[in-house]
Structure 1
């Protein structure tokens, strides 16, 4: 896939900022002349799909973008085929991937994205753009048919990345879990993106944006990558 147009956000918020407010300019720039966004709310579990779609619509009102939930379409595959652009929201990654398989959307999304349709994801929606969801932060509350995801990029993604350890915390840290992954998958790249940042892919070029560093994990090593770093070489 070389004609891809991806915006993979780490998160929907940064600190206490309003929903998607930090990403509005990135989203508008990414969509260009697109005026309607097909939203996939499947990662939502404790929020219903109508409420989730309305939350995204409210965030994008000032950018004059109409948001339509895929659940309002009788034929979700056809909705993907006719979409100007799609956005996939955050929540539980296992539920999201399960529903993508359930609604037979994997191939449809891959096909449209490969032909240049803009894709926006945040949190779980970014996670499923990777090769698999094996580096998600979420609890497996439902079992999808496979951990294989959309494979829009060839590496693993870890959204909300942080190396912070709360005082007195005795469970595994994010760092330890990614180290475990690397022990069993030493040649598989993982990109950790911190809140407020994103990966933007245009054609064959993948760039870290958002003004903060990210991290590349490979073969047991963690390497800091600067804002503006191009990840093309690992895709």
Structure 2
């Protein structure tokens, strides 16, 4: 079996409504599936119920079930494919998301479900956890998970919400400088940086950048552009 994964950089693009830009990508990825098992654990300042409601309103064609409402979440993840569900993981704080996944013993079930071709969609934090670790997230470490190791669906790091904009007069490090810190210490591990409004799609063992904006791959001291529509399948062998 192979993974069928959509890793969206963000839930919004510019001033568009919640998930508006992502709807076409989401429904193409889902095919005929309309039942979503939604993981709201990245939420911190809104309740999980509020998060599920927001997704339901943005995707009214779908039946959205919050994983937090299920007594045995691991079994629910394991049975998602059998039940005709896609697994969807929303954005928020990546550290809180990963910490809660570990607390509920969901890392291994998620890995198995995705490897068994259960459709998976994640945006922002939900995309970040598809990489080897969450060490290239943009979020504050508001909670300490047992490990930074993530789902390792793709053998590289992700940086959603990528931007190379530097506000005038701002003297903090740029995103490129932050990513260079990672690649200096981990020179053989690529970091794929994707702009808002774009996504990485992994299906049939093929990895593609989708959307209308370009992104970048950072490796060691190099920053290489990648373009919308590019076949990035070679990155799936980056750990070899």
Unaligned runs of 5+ in 2: none
2:106 aligned residue: 105
Partner of residue 148, structure 1: 149
The residue aligned with 2:66 is 69
- Structure 1 residue 15, shift from structure 2 partner: 0.7
Moved over 4 A (4+): none
Length, aligned pairs only: 232
Distance in 1 between residues matched to 2:230 and 2:187, nearest whole Å: 22
Q: Tell me the alpha carbon deviations over residues 141-182 of structure 1, each in whole angstroms, 9 at most, x when there is no partner.
A: 000000000001111000000000001101111111001111
Deviations 1:8-47 (A, max 9, x none): 0000000110000000011011001112000000000001
> In the aligned structure 1, how far is the partner of 2:182 from the partner of 2:215?
18
Per the normalisation by structure 1, the TM-score is 0.97
Q: Deviations over 1:197-226 (max 9, x none)?
A: 000000210000001111000011101111
Match of 1:95, SS state, is helix
1:59 Cα deviation after fit: 0.3
Q: Compute the TM-score of the two structures, normalised by the length of structure 2.
A: 0.95
Q: What residue in structure 2 maps to residue 222 of structure 1?
A: 223
Find the counterpart in structure 2 of residue 138 from structure 1: 139
- Indicate whether 1:54 and 2:53 are aligned: yes
SS at match of 1:38: strand
2:161 is aligned with 1:160: yes
Counterpart CA distance in 1 for 2:31 and 2:170 is 44
Contact 2:42 2:97 in 1 (8 A): yes
Structure 1 gaps of 5+ residues are: none
**1:63-90 deviations in whole A, cap 9, x for unaligned?**
x211110001000001101222111000
Secondary structure, counterpart of 1:21 in structure 2: coil
